[in-house]
Structure 1
């Protein structure tokens, strides 16, 4: 059933992606404020995304739905949906000026709507413009208006459970409007929404990993306690839910943590088969876990943290493939499981070099915070290079009969995510 996922290793049938467009240009004007890790080539990032789509469809047999194209096609086929798209765009635009000028501009907006193509209104949703009437100007202040530069990370605006889709509420203001756009797609696909996370709660899809009888939820910088409580109250269909507390990186000083390094659960842990997971042992051992078990009434009773993620996942019968500090920083955990023992992943060698360069710049500017992390990452790089086992070409994958499909996406990962972050899984079977 479209809109139902029980286990991360079940055969992936349908995903939604968003090929980045003009909104990425505005994100690259100030990468840090746009939640990007570093600057990169927008042209190359778009080309890499097209290649990822090709591999998913042509080589792996996954149905790939593109967000923009699906919405525009629906708007061109259905006058009712096009009106909804126009109305949503109208709500997004802000007019500034005298009362008379604003009223006239709003009337003109609707009068001109029939002459404009549907993509015009989709672009308005992305860009969130401020039109300053009387000055002859349209302002796109990135900090104030926040074009949706992170929309191509399609994992986060929702989670898909055995009982249906749960719409997220994003933690960062730069991303807060994204679920409003993706909800239009769920309407087009006729996907019911089990629940929507409400303010003040936050919940993001990168913090959710379904594991058949149980599920993991990351608790921390992007998903908070109120969001988790609302998720559990929806009775998502798992006998057990493990709440994983976001670990601080042990190589960063306690007074200067960097939550972006472990911002989501899928940045330091993921699934490659029904019996094998990957992750940074150093982080898994620091990630405390509280276990919530489903009662007969459909509610969950939770225990205080009494174990860590490394111990918990092994108790469930999974083998852990350990990742080095540099591999974790280079998006190695952010794999997309296509089917049991088959993964789509980053090609690590080029990304590692770029990550090291970026980390060296950070350490130069703030040695107290990043010097130890850089030192370990450099040690990892020398060892990996001498062994000739750049991720994902690791002996452990071959030992466990894991089939790998590497992607060269060193530009796309500059936005702070890999294949798992860029794909919303709608159907697994």
Structure 2
């Protein structure tokens, strides 16, 4: 059975989305590892699951098909070839402490003998030393390693499915995540797109072995117009590589490369700006007047077929975006009603909205000022709770990977 896929904007009516319901991997967070695993706190997992279930139901109530990453992964792992790739990439990417031959052989056997459901659990929630050390006598590695250290790390950031893949028209870009704690996420996402029958005909661009690009930095401003933030996570080389893929495959005519501050509060472009209508963008006011963009376009091909790019001098982002989108003005709505509120609500993911259609967006309920500004501008806001979900610094857009939207072209 063939399934429709494709996304050419941020605001076309959302039809299918991939989420990850928080699970055992969040229970692995402690005050000693949460910083390394990129969480600002220790979430109350049961409550985070309740919040996420309400988020998913809000999408279903608007006729959005919700797919879950772990369910897709488990189905994928019924394929023997997918299992072998999953095991090989997980152990090859272990990094840090040398596993040692005995431990590596034990883990290979453990993962090989696991059911698809168990293997999904090992790959996402990780394996702690005290869960295996008694089964592996004579291993110096497990003997000397602290009991609560992980031989395979958990992946609590799987919650943010936006980052590991992004659909660009009918192609999917499997991204390359910058932070060591997240790199295995794209390996699992790649596995799903490579082996799951639902995506058998999906064509891919980019890849987790290439220069760093994260999905939170990629905004589809309009059909053929893509903005890519460059900052803490996405590199200039990653943005250029992605732009070349888009031009070579005819997926874009303009790519706007947008420098953003390299700091936690602005880790991705979608932490400071998200589209809420075909000509309206929600922006953090502290950057609205200073954000700039370099516009990349294809000029011609060299004699050897290599693509040549034109790169403009930087100009104000809103100006460059309107030109590329071929509209008079890209209207911006400010986060919050005053500077203090704006800063608080930007930190609380006030800019990180998920559009379900033009003038219809999901947002965290706690950002009262931002939500009020949206409604004043004619945007319907679906409010969801996020007190626990937001502890990893991400809002509704971060937690969702649109797979199918109605086209605006």
TM range (shorter): 0.7 to 0.9
Q: TM-score, normalised by structure 2?
A: 0.81
Shift of 1:37: 2.5
- State yes or no: 1:171 paired with 2:174: no
Partner residue of 1:121 out of 96, 119, 122 = 119
Residues 157 and 170, structure 1, Cα contact 8 Å, conserved in 2: yes
Change over 3 Å in CA distance of 1:399–1:177 after alignment to 2: same
Shift of 1:285: 2.2
Change over 3 Å in CA distance of 1:198–1:69 after alignment to 2: closer
SS of 1:301 mapped into structure 2: strand
Shift of 1:104: 6.4
Matches within 5 A, 1:137-286: 141=149, 145-187=152-194, 188=196, 189-190=199-200, 191-199=202-210, 201-211=211-221, 212-235=223-246, 237-247=251-261, 259-286=263-290
Match for residue 341 of structure 1? 359
Residues 229 and 269, structure 2, Cα contact 8 Å, conserved in 1: yes
Show CA shifts across 1:155-211 (max 9, x none).
Answer: 001221125111111111010111001112112022232231534x21100000012
Shift of 1:281: 2.3
- The aligned length equals 369
Residues 214 and 238, structure 1, Cα contact 8 Å, conserved in 2: yes
Residues 163 and 398, structure 2, Cα contact 8 Å, conserved in 1: yes
Residues 37 and 414, structure 1, Cα contact 8 Å, conserved in 2: yes
Change over 3 Å in CA distance of 1:299–1:97 after alignment to 2: closer
Which consecutive unaligned segments of at least 5 residues does structure 2 have?
A: 302-306, 336-341
Alignment partners' CA distance in 2, 1:118 and 1:104:
19
Alignment partners' CA distance in 2, 1:242 and 1:425:
21
Shift of 1:225: 1.0
SS of 1:193 mapped into structure 2: strand
Alignment partners' CA distance in 2, 1:103 and 1:272:
48
Which consecutive unaligned segments of at least 5 residues does structure 1 have?
A: 249-258, 350-388
Change over 3 Å in CA distance of 1:177–1:225 after alignment to 2: same
SS of 2:157 mapped into structure 1: coil
Partner residue of 1:422 out of 379, 399, 402 = 399
SS of 2:294 mapped into structure 1: strand
Task: State the superposition RMSD in angstroms.
Answer: 2.8
Change over 3 Å in CA distance of 1:276–1:106 after alignment to 2: closer
Alignment partners' CA distance in 2, 1:107 and 1:265:
39
Residues 17 and 422, structure 1, Cα contact 8 Å, conserved in 2: yes
Match for residue 321 of structure 1? 333
Show CA shifts across 1:22-67 (max 9, x none).
Answer: 111223443322211233312211111111111111x111111101
Q: TM-score, normalised by structure 1?
A: 0.78
Show CA shifts across 1:82-140 (max 9, x none).
Answer: 565566666677997875x4586368547x71xx4222211221216566542676855
Match for residue 338 of structure 2? none
Show CA shifts across 1:332-364 (max 9, x none).
Answer: 110001011111111025xxxxxxxxxxxxxxx
Residues 197 and 230, structure 1, Cα contact 8 Å, conserved in 2: no
- State yes or no: 1:312 paired with 2:320: yes
Alignment partners' CA distance in 2, 1:96 and 1:161:
38
SS of 2:350 mapped into structure 1: coil
Alignment partners' CA distance in 2, 1:97 and 1:175:
19
Residues 86 and 188, structure 2, Cα contact 8 Å, conserved in 1: no
Match for residue 339 of structure 2? none
Show CA shifts across 1:351-386 (max 9, x none).
Answer: xxxxxxxxxxxxxxxxxxxxxxxxxxxxxxxxxxxx
Alignment partners' CA distance in 2, 1:217 and 1:267:
13
Alignment partners' CA distance in 2, 1:54 and 1:283:
33
Shift of 1:15: 0.8
Match for residue 287 of structure 1? 291
Show CA shifts across 1:209-230 (max 9, x none).
Answer: 0122311100111000111121
